[in-house]
Structure 1
Amino acid sequence: MNVVMDLWRKIEKKQFSRLYLLYGTESFLLNETKMKLLEHVLDEEEMDFNFASYDLEETPIEAVIEDAETLPFMGEQRLLFLNNPVFLTAEKTKEKVEHNLAVLEAYLKEPAPFTILVFIAPYEKLDERKKMTKLLKKEAEVLEAKKLSEADIKIWIRNKAAGNGVQIDEEAIEMLLVLAGTNLMMISSEIDKLSLYAGDTKHIDLKTVENLTARSLEQNIFTLVEMVVKRDIEGALRIYYDLLKQNEEPIKILSILSGQFRLLYQVKELSRKGYGQQQIATTIKVHPYRVKLAAGQSRLFSDEELGRIMDLLADADYQMKTGGLKKEMIIEMFFFRLHQPIA
């Protein structure tokens, strides 16, 4: 996270590099970095003349380099975004264009002093064996936009709030993560809203987060599972009916509900095998914070209970897809059947 914040601070101070390489699957960090470059490199009146965005799956690199070597018009700098540089990955893609990488290699060794070239590679990994990857990593300012850890998200929340001129309590941060999840786009939007509400107090506390933070569908499902943990079927049904009033589709609710219980089952099974929470997160490819929450819930179910719930959800999914009953009723029946003792 410190690497990201350091890069953003440099951009805000107009300490630009001639070359940037942004790669990874955390789209919020990629987009935020792009927006900061747009905001600080060019004035609004320069945008039409000195900014361009290319898709390298459609445009040959030599055409982009030709643009990069063109003097800026009515300004001092040009800003070019180069999206999808497939030649940096090991992914098998059917390339629509051929790239003359010798032209790019020569440019990287001596970039135009008036152009900022930004490679945006939304890939989990780059092919480190490739000469072009090695050269670009050597010559460019590099940002790996990967999923943040729980600790890094908390740092980012504090920095985001501070950037809005407000202070946020630690317990408020914890609750924000519980309610909004780990999606940075959603968290960013919520912090902006909470900051406006804080007004002259310049302070976001737990109560403010509880009262104002929008619950995602996933969070409502998490709370619904909490009701099942407490054997409060009426509470679970109440949340379910609220979701229906919000026009959420039963099949989507069932899918996320099944996914949550599948996560509990996987966490419980892997924990039994001695896996730590970080190992579990890596193995099943979910955010460590979700594993942390699931670990707490999974301990409150026996193996038999979780197995039976998975069977009930599989049966509900089958009925949903074969169309024997009203979809709304199928999930109701799932909750009612939870009352029945294990055979």
Structure 2
Amino acid sequence: MQIYLFWGEDDFSLAQAVDTLRQKVLDPNWATFNYDKILPDQSDAVISALNQAMTPPFGTGSRFVWLADTPIAQQCSQELFAELERTLPVIPSTTVLLLTTRNKPDSRLKSTKLLLKSAEVREFSPIPPWKTEELVKRVRQATEERGVKLTPAAIELLAECVGNDTRQLNSELDKLELYAGNTNKPLGDEAIATLVRSNTQNSLQLAAAIRQGNTAQALQLVAELIGHNEPALKIVATLTTQFRTWLLVKLGVQAGEADEKIAQAAEISNPKRIYFFRQEVKSLTVEKLQKTLPLLLELESSLKRGAQEVSTLQTKVIELCRLFY
């Protein structure tokens, strides 16, 4: 019996993991007969998946049954739970059953508890943008897996440019791999600055414009970011990260903390960067920086409720800039 539960909002990484598992399980010559993807809009999707899982594979290899976007880890009727409880323990070893969902499983549900006992669970959630060390670690791991050699400075810059966007990271590594060719010399940060599209950097420029109270420049940067199809929620995430960092640095400076301690509190991997952050927050007050976070939270909430992206961003950016006039 091989049962997997993949969950999380990082759609690209989750899709890659599904594809890797599918290729591992299926014999290419019999894949058409032994692969079933069952969508949630199909009537009795869970029952259909369980029935398919009990069916022996044709030819060689295993049967791969994928119950996609299933809600059973968030809601599950008593009748459906009884069917899960009866079937999961007796699924043949020749079947791999995969369940995927974007939402975090509700650990209070009986169906979730059963899956946690029966399945291998993997989380595919985006790394929070303020966890810079984890972002750098993920980029380093990805470059090692792909065999793309980068200097430490290049890895840090690439992490800054792509943030927690795994799809863009994969795309940029394709480009860098082609650019490197057969050379064994690691690419430096100059190559990253030249080749890698950095909407994150433009969002950081937006944060700087807001910090300086420069409304005209901030609105122009908003227009450029939207023009480059940068998701509004990603812009907000970068702004939140930057203003949170500035606030933590300012609090550390006021408390007379050493750069190493400030870097640790603000989750900045390189303490030497604190010098530059000190200069950026020198003329700012803790009170003004604190006021930015509720405004950014309101902005995020509005966007998630379906507010019009451009006008909502513009309005909040103007409010944020007024804090720093």
TM-score normalised by length of structure 1: 0.65
In the TM superposition, what is the alpha-carbon distance from 1:85 to its structure 2 partner? 3.2
Note if contact 2:143-2:150 (Cα within 8 Å) is conserved in structure 1. yes
Q: Does 1:194 align with 2:179?
A: no
Identity %: 22
Question: Which residue of the partner structure matches residue 137 of structure 1?
Answer: 116
Note if contact 2:64-2:95 (Cα within 8 Å) is conserved in structure 1. yes
- Separation in 1 of the partners of 2:262 and 2:37? 40
- Separation in 1 of the partners of 2:237 and 2:10? 25
Aligned runs of 1:282-301 on 2, under 5 Å? 296=277, 299-301=281-283
Q: 1:190 to 1:300 in 2, by over 3 A?
A: farther
User: How well do the aligned residues superpose, as a CA RMSD in angstroms?
Assistant: 4.8
Question: Which residue of the partner structure matches residue 147 of structure 1?
Answer: 126
Question: Helix, strand or coil: the match of 1:19?
Answer: strand
- Separation in 2 of the partners of 1:266 and 1:199? 38
Question: Which residue of the partner structure matches residue 192 of structure 2?
Answer: 209
TM-score normalised by length of structure 2: 0.68
Aligned runs of 1:83-232 on 2, under 5 Å? 83-89=68-74, 100-127=80-107, 129-148=108-127, 149-202=131-184, 203-216=186-199, 218-226=200-208
Question: Which residue of the partner structure matches residue 50 of structure 2?
Answer: 65
Note if contact 1:50-1:75 (Cα within 8 Å) is conserved in structure 2. no
Question: Which residue of the partner structure matches residue 303 of structure 2?
Answer: none
Instruction: Name the amino acid aligned to 1:122.
Output: R
Q: 1:271 to 1:300 in 2, by over 3 A?
A: closer
- Separation in 2 of the partners of 1:151 and 1:163? 18
Question: Helix, strand or coil: the match of 1:87?
Answer: coil
Question: Which residue of the partner structure matches residue 64 of structure 2?
Answer: 79
Q: 1:134 to 1:243 in 2, by over 3 A?
A: closer
Instruction: Name the amino acid aligned to 1:205.
Output: G
- Separation in 1 of the partners of 2:245 and 2:146? 39
In the TM superposition, what is the alpha-carbon distance from 1:305 to its structure 2 partner? 9.8
- Separation in 2 of the partners of 1:79 and 1:110? 16
In the TM superposition, what is the alpha-carbon distance from 1:76 to its structure 2 partner? 2.4
Q: 1:271 to 1:240 in 2, by over 3 A?
A: closer
Please list every run of 5 or more consecutive structure 1 residues that lacks an aligned counterpart in the other structure. Answer: 1-16, 282-287, 318-326
Note if contact 2:68-2:100 (Cα within 8 Å) is conserved in structure 1. yes
In the TM superposition, what is the alpha-carbon distance from 1:137 to its structure 2 partner? 1.5
Question: Which residue of the partner structure matches residue 320 of structure 1?
Answer: none
Note if contact 2:204-2:242 (Cα within 8 Å) is conserved in structure 1. no
Note if contact 2:250-2:286 (Cα within 8 Å) is conserved in structure 1. no
- Separation in 1 of the partners of 2:262 and 2:7? 26
Q: 1:175 to 1:259 in 2, by over 3 A?
A: closer
Q: 1:228 to 1:243 in 2, by over 3 A?
A: closer
Instruction: Name the amino acid aligned to 2:165.
Output: N
Q: 1:277 to 1:185 in 2, by over 3 A?
A: farther
In the TM superposition, what is the alpha-carbon distance from 1:42 to its structure 2 partner? 2.0
Question: Helix, strand or coil: the match of 2:182?
Answer: helix
Please list every run of 5 or more consecutive structure 2 residues that lacks an aligned counterpart in the other structure. Answer: 256-260, 300-310
Instruction: Name the amino acid aligned to 1:114.
Output: T
Question: Helix, strand or coil: the match of 2:197?
Answer: coil
Note if contact 2:248-2:265 (Cα within 8 Å) is conserved in structure 1. no
Q: Does 1:19 align with 2:11?
A: no
Instruction: Name the amino acid aligned to 1:248.
Output: G
Q: Does 1:55 align with 2:35?
A: no
Aligned length, in residue pairs: 289
Question: Which residue of the partner structure matches residue 32 of structure 1?
Answer: 16
- Separation in 1 of the partners of 2:240 and 2:137? 30
